[in-house]
Copies of this chain bind each other. A is one copy, B any other.
């Protein structure tokens, strides 16, 4: 699955992943989502108030700031912070499937978290197993 991000921020992929689950025809299953990058990651977070995502972004910007004296900066000041932010969020997320639906909580959405400043095309593998 390709996900076009808009630069630093979150892309909700819940519906697209649910569509893959539906197409599999499986009712009780396990859905694994895997992102093939180390400067963007996955996270399951609240999908109700957009300020939650805004706060997460701001806070993560302080936790792994561009202003730190990183050695690796081949692609600019947003390069290494992106790796650091990926390392403490998720590369894979595993979600049980019940009655053909992702068993997410009411307020949970699955997001690609883009950590690079500019838009990127990100590759996400979705695997559904019984």
Q: Which A residues have a C-beta under 8 Å from some C-beta of B?
A: 30, 32, 34-39, 43-46, 49, 51-52, 54-56, 58-59, 63-64, 68, 70-72, 74, 80, 83-84, 86-96, 98, 103-108, 123, 125, 127, 129-130
Contact = CB atoms under 8 A, between A and B. Distances in A.
22 contacts: A32-B96, A34-B94, A34-B95, A37-B105, A38-B105, A43-B87, A45-B83, A46-B83, A49-B74, A51-B72, A55-B83, A56-B87, A59-B64, A59-B68, A59-B84, A63-B63, A88-B89, A91-B108, A92-B93, A92-B95, A94-B94, A129-B130
User: 10 nearest interchain CB pairs?
Assistant: A36-B105, A51-B72, A96-B127, A92-B94, A51-B71, A44-B91, A38-B46, A88-B88, A96-B125, A103-B125
A interface majority secondary structure: mixed
